[in-house]
Amino acid sequence: MTEDEQVIEFGKILAAWNPVGDVQAAAIGLSDYEAEAIDILSVMKLYGYSAKRATSEILQEAFLIDLEKSELDYYGGKIETVLAKN
């Protein structure tokens, strides 16, 4: 799987999760989480972070939100599954 394909899959996972919520996402014009997906993949590759850690840091920094641990575990696991497809 190419990096572009990984970004697309990460974006789909984040969009399904929609951790910022519908109202805030609409207010900021967020639809596909592509920028965040790129950042998550970049942080994982540059710093060797796990999917959960990278996702947590990127989303909390970008949107100033707190993430539910159970949701982060679940969706971070889905991102790890995408990475394992290589």
Tokens 């990475």 map to which residue?
Answer: 83
More confident position, 29 or 62: 62
How would residue 18 be classed by pLDDT, with cut points 50, 70 and 90? very high
Write the pLDDT tens digit of every residue in 42-71.
Answer: 999 999 999 999 999 999 999 999 999 999
The predicted model scores a pTM of 0.90
Domain ranges of the chain: 3-84
